[in-house]
Amino acid sequence: MLRKPRAYAEVYNDLGGEIVNLFRVARDEGEKLAQLCELTPFARAEFVESYEPSPDPLEQARRTLTRSFMGFGSNSLHQKSGFRANSNRSGTTPAHDWMNYPAALRVTIQRLRGVVIENRDALECMRHHDTPETLHYADPPYVMATRSDEKHDYPHEMTDVDHQQFAEGIKQLKGKVVVSGYRCDAYDELFCGWQRVDKATHADGAAKRIESLWLSPNIGHQGFNFSEAA
């Protein structure tokens, strides 16, 4: 959403309350959040403290950003990871990147203005906002069989049955639907008849993976370019 042009009406929905809090604070108190990040040193003590919840939404949003940026891997929000203290790589260090982060955050803050932020069941939210002109982009938790060690990574997981019910639900929508995930037989079966667009990529740990988009039939086969949706 952050990389596409604005639309007439935009809705972001997530069951994760911490992420929803971050988006709401960024939208409504974004400058305060950016200033707090400017005052936050790239420090192990800050990283450790970020795992402790705060009752203040603004402070919690700062801790969410701190934990996400200063930890290793894309999932440091949900699982404890090490502190990115590495300063051996050429170019900039993680500390330098953090110093420049508030400026980049302000761009995100501006983009979130006017976006409706929901915190509800995905299908319930999609049905509520569904029209023939709606484009739904769904990014559910990866199918368990596609993950390394089939480990749980998200605060709100989906079983194989949940994925099946999800697929059945979105097929009833009037709008266009794009679903993202790792290429897998389960989704090819669930979304049989949908166009699939693949892209070779690397997961955490540099493991080679195939990321895919499944496009509902009402989108049409018009030479969809994966890079345009990245």
Amino acid at 191: F
User: The tokens 């389960």 sit on which residue?
Assistant: 186
Q: What would the pLDDT profile of 49-94 be if each residue is shown by its tens digit?
A: 999 999 999 999 999 999 999 987 655 555 677 788 776 655 678 8
CA-nearest of 54, 52, 79, 82 to 154 is 79
Instruction: Say yes or no: 109 and 127 in one domain.
Output: no
Per-residue pLDDT tens, the chain, 230 aa: give them. 888 899 999 999 998 889 999 999 999 999 999 999 999 999 999 999 999 999 999 999 999 999 999 987 655 555 677 788 776 655 678 899 999 999 999 999 999 999 999 999 999 999 999 999 999 999 998 888 877 665 556 667 788 899 999 999 999 999 999 999 988 999 999 999 999 999 988 765 567 888 999 999 999 765 555 554 43
Among 93, 116, 139, give the residue marking a domain's end.
116
**Position 2 in a domain:** no
Domain of residue 111 covers 16-116
Instruction: Say yes or no: 54 and 152 in one domain.
Output: no
Instruction: Say yes or no: 27 and 71 in one domain.
Output: yes
Instruction: Say yes or no: 193 and 138 in one domain.
Output: yes
Instruction: Say yes or no: 89 and 154 in one domain.
Output: no
Instruction: Say yes or no: 73 and 144 in one domain.
Output: no
**Position 6 in a domain:** no
> CA-to-CA distance for 40 and 58, rounded, in angstroms?
14
Among 82, 116, 150, give the residue marking a domain's end.
116
Instruction: Say yes or no: 92 and 153 in one domain.
Output: no
Among 96, 116, 136, give the residue marking a domain's end.
116
Instruction: Say yes or no: 140 and 97 in one domain.
Output: no
Kindly report the CATH number assigned to the domain that includes residue 166.
3.40.50.150
Instruction: Say yes or no: 43 and 95 in one domain.
Output: yes
**Position 7 in a domain:** no
Instruction: Say yes or no: 77 and 148 in one domain.
Output: no
CA-nearest of 187, 197, 180, 128 to 163 is 187
Q: What is the pTM of this model?
A: 0.82
Amino acid at 126: M
**Position 4 in a domain:** no
**Position 9 in a domain:** no
| DSSP structure string for 43-78 | -HHHHHHTTS--SSHHHHHHHHHHHHHHBSSTTTTT
**Position 60 in a domain:** yes
Instruction: Say yes or no: 132 and 223 in one domain.
Output: yes
